[in-house]
Amino acid sequence: MLLKNKLKQVKFVTIFCLSFLTFQLLAQNKVIRLTPSSFKQVGTIDARFQSYNVEMAEVIGGNFWRPYDKNELSKSSQIEQTSNPAIAIDHNNTSLFQAIPPIDLYDKRLRILAKALGPLYVRVSGTWANTVYFKDNDTDTSLPAGFNGVLNKQQWKGVVDYIKAVDAKLVTSFSVSEGVRDAQGIWTPVEAKKLINYTKSIGGEIAAAELFNEPNFGSSGGVKGYTEEKFAKDIAIFSKFMKNTLPTMSIVGPGSVSVGAPLKNIKSAQMLDNDKMLSVQPKANFDIFSYHFYGAVSQRCASFGKALTTSKEDALSENWLARTDSIFSQYDVLYKKYAAGKPFWLTETADAACGGNPWAITYLDCFRYLDQMGRLAKNGVDVIFHNTFATSEYGMVDQKTHLPRPKYWAALLWHQLMGTKVLDAGIKMEEGAHIYAHSTAGKNKGVTLLIINTIEKDLLYVNIPSSAQRFTLSSDELIGMNVKLNGKVLALNEKDELPILKGEPVKPGLMSFAPSSITFLVLP
């Protein structure tokens, strides 16, 4: 009896202390109050919203970004100012690139991880796709002038088989280099026709395509003296050809590249003007509006200048995370002017261009990854293609082992919990507290909240009106390679099977969220 009375006293004191803490926090305006029943729907995303890229360089084997030194993570990530910034990439620079073998798209582990994220789109494109020669004749051993790489039938069949196996739809682009241009320098469908015919012959389907990768950076397409006028003529020919050849395929564009908010202050003779690309005659007409975005260039491309780089010390700051909104707003002006009402896709993005920064492989990049999707879903973007799934530092899974990185687990939780209806939680975005709301994925009716606490030292307090299931991602260190769900490290088992992602039941009332943590909260 004595023990029972003491337990009652402890329980009473605990409840009193919690009540007093709640009262104090409410009085100081330090608690975020949520009322899901009042959330308004502000949009709908595609069921394949969370998609990704498999670069053409991966498919054929080509020069891709050289991995960082193993000690790079422990070094300072501050970049010295370059005196003469230059927006240029030399793919033969062995300090930046190394040859990689073709990716094995039949790998069992890779397919298990990929299928768990389906349905989705897989975009096979990138700089190498701009200059690739499709060898549809098995006896052909040549590489004609105007091309830099060879795609064979076996490799493309691997892509088509992979698409079918992982519940995906194929998005791609085509060769636009000097090898496919006529005497006037205008694009011809000679290579596109070969690839389309072979895709059909093996039971494949191209759901959507951009003409080529990042046309506002025409030199990367192996095209000399590319202009806005040439782009308009190319798109007109491409559109007519596709409407006659693949009438069900969606034409996507322009797919222009953007690197961080500071890029608008840097003038480059190599970069075309996006507005002019869309306004010159004959005016380009796309079924889906697209753009590319990277918040910075990686440390590999420090020669671009300090203004275009970032650091791991800045990775949780509002300045860094808000770059997503800054570049979106620029493209949104073009979207409303030239493609209003059509789907809006971000067809390439990651933490940084040039293969990603050293910390992209760690828990630290989960914040950028999830926050970016939350922001853009609310802004009206229908699909986001992360670059890449399995190559370089920005890959979701390790390039050699195909083991999941922290970002993969963040993607899997989004896929399983965040539905297609986008809601407004009525919470003003604040430094450290980012809250997004969607319908709950699947058949369960409810609301899923994504609550991101980017503050490294302080707890975040939220008052919820009902019981819920809590899924909290954390790591022992921000640049850690392991990630925990509700305190338990996530990993594949010995058969490469994914664990069941289980929530932790919580009661209504005041909830605290640890510093540098990410939580999905599912409310009925």
Co-location of 496 and 353 in the same domain: no
Predicted confidence (pLDDT) at residue 300 exceeds the cutoff of 60:
yes
Q: Give the pLDDT band of residue 24 (cuts 50, 70, 90).
A: very low
- Residues 442, 386, single domain; the answer is no
What would the mean pLDDT of 54-77 be, rounded to a whole number?
86
Residues 57 and 203 in one domain: yes
Least confident of 269-273, 410-414, 510-514: 269-273
Of 26-35, 137-146, 301-310, 447-456, the range with the highest mean pLDDT is 447-456
3-state secondary structure of 58: helix
In a domain, 301, yes or no: yes
> Residue 163 falls within a domain, yes or no?
yes
Q: What is the pLDDT of residue 95?
A: 76
Q: What is the mean pLDDT of the chain?
A: 89
Residue 16 lies in a domain: no
Neighbours of 47 (CB within 10 A): 14
Q: State the Cα–Cα distance between residues 84 and 329, nearest whole angstrom.
A: 29
As a whole number, mean pLDDT of residues 156-173 equals 98
Whether 400 and 508 map to the same domain: the answer is no
Tokens of 7: 């337990």
For residue 236, the domain's CATH number is 3.20.20.80
Q: At 237, list the tokens.
A: 């020919």
Residue listed under structure tokens 């338990």: 488
Residue type for position 29: N
4, part of any domain: no
CATH number of the domain that 455 lies in? 2.60.40.1180
- Helix 323-338 to helix 364-379 angle (10° resolution) is 30
- Cα separation, 342 vs 345, whole angstroms: 10
Of 73-77, 101-105, 377-381, 472-476, which range is least confident?
73-77
Q: Which domain holds residue 435?
A: 34-38+424-523
Mean predicted confidence (pLDDT) in 108-129: 97
Closest of 227, 165, 157, 229 to residue 198, by C-alpha: 157
What digits encode the pLDDT tens for the residues 238-259? 999 999 999 999 999 999 987 6
Mean pLDDT of 487-497: 97
Residue 26 covered by a domain? no
Residue 498 lies in a domain: yes
The residue out of 372, 404, 436 marking a domain boundary is 404
Predicted pLDDT at 170:
98
125 found inside a domain? yes
What is the tally of structural domains in the chain? 2
Alpha carbon distance 196, 251 (integer Å): 14
Q: Compute the half-sphere exposure of residue 72: CA atoms within 13 Å on the CB side of its CA.
A: 19
Residue 457 lies in a domain: yes
User: Residues 386, 428: one domain?
Assistant: no
- Do 361 and 450 lie in a common domain? no
Dihedral of CA 47/50/55/61: which sign? negative
Quick one: pLDDT band at residue 77, thresholds 50, 70, 90? low
